[in-house]
Amino acid sequence: MLLSKIYAAGGNTHLFENVEQQRKEKGVKKQPGRTWIEVNNKVHTFVGDDQDHPQTIEICAQLQRLSGLLHNAGYVPYIKSVLHDVKQVEMVSHLCHRSMKLAIALGVINIAHGPPLQIMKNLQVCEDCHTSTEFI
């Protein structure tokens, strides 16, 4: 997986596709990125583009609000964090709905003036999520 990410980040599409093909042929599966946040003594789990949370509508609205605030503060999405061959508009949308950002939005909704948000991940934090979290 790491080699695949290195090739993709470097723009080596052919080598990226070759490694991905070998991975699929050998049955190696990527563990999905997950993010956990505790809100009001309950742990909530998210994956990218998650739509299963009971507060999905509020979370999406909060993401829209945060996206506008981030843009006004000078944040620019780091689209190199998206390793998929999709259009730039889709990349920005994908970045906005990463598991970490969903968890942050839930925390902002439910923990207005409480303790700092504590977020746990099973994988590394991508550069875009790291930067946007700093802005937030």
- Pair 90, 78 in one domain: yes
Measured CA angle at 76 (ends 111, 11), to 5 deg: 120
- Pair 115, 127 in one domain: yes
Q: Which residues are bridge partners to 44 per DSSP?
A: 37
- Pair 63, 3 in one domain: no
- Pair 65, 24 in one domain: no
Statement: the pTM of the whole predicted model exceeds 0.85: no
- Pair 110, 89 in one domain: yes
Long-range contacts of 131-134 (CB under 8 A, 24+ apart): 131/75, 131/78, 132/70, 132/75, 132/77, 132/101, 133/100, 133/104
- Pair 19, 85 in one domain: no
- Range(s) of the domain holding residue 96: 31-135
- Pair 55, 68 in one domain: yes
Tens place of pLDDT per residue across the chain (136 aa)? 788 878 877 888 899 899 989 999 999 888 888 999 999 889 999 998 888 999 999 999 999 999 899 999 998 887 665 555 545 555 445 556 789 999 999 999 988 777 788 899 998 888 888 888 888 8
Short-list 17, 14, 19, 18, CA closest to 2: 19
- Pair 36, 16 in one domain: no
